[in-house]
Chains A and B, each alone.
Chain A
Amino acid sequence: DIQMTQSPSSLSASVGDRVTITCRASQAITHYLAWYQQKPGTVPKLLIYAASTLQSGVPSRFSGSGSGTDFTLTISSLQPEDVATYYCQNYHSVPLTFGGGTKVEIK
């Protein structure tokens, strides 16, 4: 099974800061990676698929990069509404494992 390791597990940043979350796969998954945002009490929302393609309707301050085993989600300018937990997911092969999550808070 492919293990997905996210870091950090939590972070606190100021409004306007650039925020970076990393996700590492235990084996190469080419570009078969998705990022989700989950706000408290809500279902996850797809932000990015194919490692770097922005889902329709997602603000352009979100971006994704990487391939193979190392991936990054970047928020270019953190906004109050971005407070959430972010998850990466491998969809290269089953089981379609999720990372452990990164909780983003405002400082």
Chain B
Amino acid sequence: QKEVEQNSGPLSVPEGAIASLNCTYSDRGSQSFFWYRQYSGKSPELIMFIYSNGDKEDGRFTAQLNKASQYVSLLIRDSQPSDSATYLCADWNSGNTPLVFGKGTRLSVIA
């Protein structure tokens, strides 16, 4: 049974700082991961997808994957109060297999 672990937080950072969100996963064979953002009472919103070891950048977001350590992270540069949300890490195999979500880390960006 796949498991994805995230620190539930809250993680508090000041506006303009870098927020670092982390996720570990249990299945050594896992290949790909998604980061979703979920505002309170809303649905998950896709932020990034990563499948290769190393970094992937998209605007203010950088996803990092280390398969040897079974570790995925998301960095948010120049954090804004509007980034305050719960960030969900999800493990995905391929095709139409389901996403396996972590419980999410709540981020609070303080103005």
**Real complex partners, A and B?**
no
Q: Which positions in A face B, CB cutoff 8 Å?
A: none
Q: Which positions in B face A, CB cutoff 8 Å?
A: none
